[in-house]
A and B are shown apart, each in its own frame.
Chain A
Amino acid sequence: AQKITQTQPGMFVQEKEAVTLDCTYDTSDQSYGLFWYKQPSSGEMIFLIYQGSYDEQNATEGRYSLNFQKARKSANLVISASQLGDSAMYFCAMRYNNAGNMLTFGGGTRLMVKP
């Protein structure tokens, strides 16, 4: 069975500092995609960053980067220079290419940025 684990239910970070949100996954598939989404209190799910299983370089999107360690099956999200607006729930998700492109989500991490 495919599984996504986010071990940090809640995290604090000081404004302007960097923070790493952990995500590990379990799959026997060779081809898959990893995603991070942000969910503010309003409820919408905002796509942040994507990493393909065959991508050799770590994905980056502005202040977001994905620390992809395939052998360890981890895909941690790094947010640099945290801002107050980064306070939200963050979900790691995995797309299994043999499963109709469905996403399986981790349990989420609540990030709180302190001023």
Chain B
Amino acid sequence: GAVVSQHPSRVICKSGTSVKIECRSLDFQATTMFWYRQFPKKSLMLMATSNEGSKATYEQGVEKDKFLINHASLTLSTLTVTSAHPEDSSFYICSAFRTGGAKNIQYFGAGTRLSVL
């Protein structure tokens, strides 16, 4: 399957600092990437759709000023958690949407576990 790289896999930061998470599609170009948040023992919750060269589309209830998304190239999207607080601690996972035939599959990164102290 296609490869999506997400970095870092784990980050611990102090309250009030900002954290950047990168999502790269390694062997295909992705005009669309998605960012999800997952709470323990829960399903994935879509936060935003990241479109190359345009503004991200945020889901209802997701603060766009808190979670900044940049999709500057066809292989890279970044999520920046600004002024992080303990309630932002979570598992964040990205996916890259690969078109091709009828399947149009989303391939996922390995996720980033964020802990805010």
A-side interface residues toward B, CB under 8 Å? 33, 35, 37, 42-47, 50, 52, 91, 95, 100-108
Do B113 and A47 have beta carbons less than 8 Å apart? no
Residue in B closest to A31 when the chains form the complex, CB atoms: B102
With A33-B103, A43-B91, A44-B109 known to touch, is A101 a contact of B97 (CB < 8 Å)? Answer: yes
Contacts of A50 in B (CB 8 A): 103, 105
Residue in B closest to A4 when the chains form the complex, CB atoms: B43
- CB under 8 Å from chain A, chain B span 15-38: 32, 34
B-side interface residues toward A, CB under 8 Å? 1, 32, 34, 42-44, 46, 49, 57, 91, 93, 95, 97, 102-111, 113
Contacts of A45 in B (CB 8 A): 44, 93, 95, 108, 111
Instruction: Give the dominant DSSP class at B's interface.
Output: strand
Do A44 and B108 have beta carbons less than 8 Å apart? yes
Do B111 and A43 have beta carbons less than 8 Å apart? yes
Do B93 and A105 have beta carbons less than 8 Å apart? no
Smallest CB separation, B38 vs chain A (Å): 8
Smallest CB separation, A23 vs chain B (Å): 12
Smallest CB separation, B72 vs chain A (Å): 20
A110 to B33, CA, bound (A): 27
Q: Could you jot down 17 A-B contacts, CB within 8 Å?
A: A33-B104, A35-B105, A44-B108, A44-B110, A44-B111, A45-B108, A45-B111, A47-B1, A47-B106, A47-B108, A91-B44, A95-B104, A101-B32, A101-B97, A102-B34, A102-B49, A103-B46
A2 to B113, CA, bound (A): 29
A104 to B49, CA, bound (A): 13
Most buried by A among B32, B106, B110, B113: B106
